[in-house]
């Protein structure tokens, strides 16, 4: 069987790319443990407020420069444990944002940072980030959840301890 020269080049190129991409995916998944979220962190959506850690929403220090911000999402507010919905976090801290919803799907996003996750009924969503830049960041809901969707927000102030 005769295979044209160009066809042979492209076949070789295609197979080589396939091997390269599968190797990258394989190394990431099996050697570096980069997998999609397991979805195993389940919660009874009817008893979010009675379930640890959402029975005490807010910012908790869990170690040296390590914090956890537990957030109860509901139509149409984020309960971050403070009456003014303002959370102050020291600059450079590593923070785990952990959220659950008592009703519908919300989209928790901290504008200007990489924090962006869906909060689905029955599941706990979490994301750990290092807050490198000082400033005032607004936590918004980016998933339309009803008539008060635009009212759903809280404020995260990343404060520079040097000041
Ligand atoms: Cu919650 Cu939109």
Distance 150 CA to ligand 1 centre (A): 7
Distance (Å) from CA 33 to ligand 1 centroid: 32
State whether the Cα torsion 55-61-66-71 is positive or negative: positive
Nearest atom, ligand 1, residue 143 CA: 2
CA contacts within 13 A on the Cβ side of 122: 2
Distance CA 91, CA 33 (A): 29
- CA 105 to ligand 1: nearest atom: 1
**Taking 60 as the threshold, does the pLDDT of residue 143 lie above it?**
yes
Atom of ligand 1 nearest to the CA of 75: 1
| Backbone torsions φ then ψ of 98, nearest 5 degrees | -130, 125
Q: Bridge-partner residues for 88, per DSSP? A: 157
Q: How high is the pLDDT of residue 38?
A: 61
Average pLDDT over residues 133-159: 95
Cβ–ligand 1 distance for 144 under 6 Å, the answer yes
Percentage of the chain with pLDDT > 90? 85
Beta carbons within 10 angstroms of residue 60's beta carbon:
15
C-alpha to C-alpha distance for 53 and 163, rounded to whole angstroms: 32
Neighbouring residues of 34: CB distance < 8 A, sequence distance ≥ 6: 28
pLDDT class for 148, splitting at 50, 70, 90?
Answer: very high
Say if ligand 1 is within 6 A of residue 143 CB. Answer: yes
- Closest ligand 1 atom to the C-alpha of 144? 2
Name the pTM for this structure: 0.76
Q: What pLDDT score does 65 carry?
A: 93
Give the pLDDT mean for 52-62.
Answer: 94
| Ligand 1 lined by 141 (C-beta under 6 Å) | yes
Query: Hey, whose CA ends up nearest to atom 1 of ligand 1?
Result: 106
Q: Which residues of 28-51 are buried (b: 16+ CB within 10 A; e: fewer)?
A: eeeeeeeeeeeeeeebebeebeee
pLDDT bin (cut points 50, 70, 90) of residue 90 is very high
């Amino acid at each position: 069987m005769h295979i044209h020269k160009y066809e042979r080049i492209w076949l070789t190129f295609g197979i080589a790319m396939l091997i390269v991409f599968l190797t990258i995916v394989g190394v990431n998944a099996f050697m570096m443990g980069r997998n999609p979220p397991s979805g195993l962190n389940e919660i009874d959506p009817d008893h979010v407020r009675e379930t640890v850690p959402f029975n005490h929403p807010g910012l908790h220090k869990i170690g040296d420069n390590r914090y956890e911000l537990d957030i109860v999402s509901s139509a149409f507010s984020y309960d971050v444990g403070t009456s003014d919905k303002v959370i102050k976090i020291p600059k450079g801290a590593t923070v785990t944002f952990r959220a659950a919803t008592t009703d519908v799907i919300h989209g928790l996003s901290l504008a200007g940072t990489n924090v962006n996750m869906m909060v689905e009924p029955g599941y706990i969503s979490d994301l750990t980030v290092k807050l490198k830049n000082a400033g005032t960041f607004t936590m918004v809901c980016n998933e339309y959840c009803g008539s008060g969707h635009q009212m759903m927000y809280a404020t995260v102030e990343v404060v520079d301890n040097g000041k």
